[in-house]
Amino acid sequence: MARPTSTSLSTLLIFLFSCLGKAQHIGTLVPERHPSFPTQLCTASEECTTRQTFLVADALTRHFHAISDPSISCASFETISNATLCPDAATCAKNCALEGVEYGSKGVSAVGSAVTMRQYLFDGTTHRSVSPRLYLLAEGGEEYEMLRLLNQELAVDVDVSQLGCGMNGAVYLSEMEVTGNRDEERGNTAGAGYGVGYCDAQCFNTVSWINGAPNFNQTSGACCNEMDIWEANSRANVFTPHTCASPDGCGINTYNLGHREFYGPSAENVVDSSRPFTIITQFITDDDTSTGTLVEIKRVYVQDGKVMENSKQTNNEKVGGIEGGYNGVITEGYCAARNRSDFARLGGMEAMGEALGRGMVLVFSLWNSEGDFMSWLDGDDGQNGPCGETEGDPARIVRESPAVSVTFSNVRWGSVGSTFGQGGSSNGGSTGGGDDNGTGDGVFQAGVIKGGSTRLMVDGLWVGVVVLVVMIGLV
């Protein structure tokens, strides 16, 4: 995800070598029960097949402790600096174990084909920030689902109506390793089933563990290619490809480009973020095959059955001067007009396409930022969105609107045009339903859906139902 930082390709090499020969174990205190999250794979014939996929929480959001004493956390730099527990990387990893999680206690509720995530949970006294991050697991729940999207499209129904300034409900792709670097012979039994192996283009060196290995020197980063499908709240949004170690990437924010009425929480906006809608992201190649070179990344919206292309309006003279004109899509010409030199230097659209062809892991997250109040997304003196200087301050968010949440549902991918015809959710903005399978301890139930026509995946069929899901314990 797009956060201001700096790094270099050498960081990637450090990261790759730091991960060899290490182990990470599964604890026995809390069992892991992955929330069911069915998705669909669609074809050009407009047929979609339901896949019994799952969600898994990130490894570093779990209870990660010394095997000899569960009260000792292995998650901090202070702990891994303990010469007794962690005299070397291999011993340190063998001495620590990851536990399962109760997903309700992480602000996560999976209901049918929908997942709702909350930033804060109320314990009766205070609101605790949980900032969930989830990955899509393949059928069987042992490996990540690898989405190979070159010359394909990805569709997701979103509801950001409960996200104001400073919040970021994100859907993105990360080129993580399919098993989460699980290695039974070396003793690394956790892997993808416990959310191990996260990486992105930001290459943060502030995490204490990378790919199941302790990050002793605090200079290594978990680096890989990243495709931000959707970073948004109800006030602004952006979609951005990031080649590895290209933190800025090359994104489109319609507000920043000058069409300020295109997206927002009103019926006056072209896309009304106060109600659910569908986002479709298409990855077009030069020869319309899955082996071609990526040349365009397109965004399409569907709301109330109406299909809408991304805005083509801009007041940016360089963007408007692109050869052939600006068409609301990401191309090499667009990135050159935006002077995204790092993105181009690190491979640009071609490298992003190669990653999409190899396969990437789908990620869902919800977060805010004390450092910059998310102004790069929705503020910055009115450049990126309408939010004021301090509206995104997490302290203000938790004080004024602690019930912030986001819902993603009806995830489907396949041939271009296949996910929002007869085989996909054609009305746009529908939200899954069904039994709650991810509440864990019952602290948090499903997020508010303001009634309406809902589509459920049952035995591979779409069934129209009317659903009212009530949020419990929000205040």
Contact 294, 283 (CB under 8 A): yes
Phi, psi at 412, each rounded to 5°: -150, 150
Candidate list 231, 323, 350, 391, residue with the active-site label: 231
Contact residues for 445 (Cβ-Cβ < 8 A; gap 6+): 104, 109, 436, 439, 469, 470, 471, 472, 473
β partners of residue 96: 66
β partners of residue 39: 51
Quick check: is 231 catalytic? yes
β partners of residue 56: 135
CA dist list (Å): 314 to 195, 213, 229, 261: 40, 46, 21, 12
β partners of residue 232: 169, 237
Report the candidate in 62, 53, 54 with the shortest Cα–Cα distance to residue 24.
62
Quick check: is 226 catalytic? yes
Report the candidate in 219, 225, 191, 189 with the shortest Cα–Cα distance to residue 206.
219
Tokens of 154: 């990805």
Lookup result for tokens 């396969």: 359
Candidate list 226, 296, 309, 370, residue with the active-site label: 226
Contact 254, 348 (CB under 8 A): no
Known catalytic residues?
226, 231
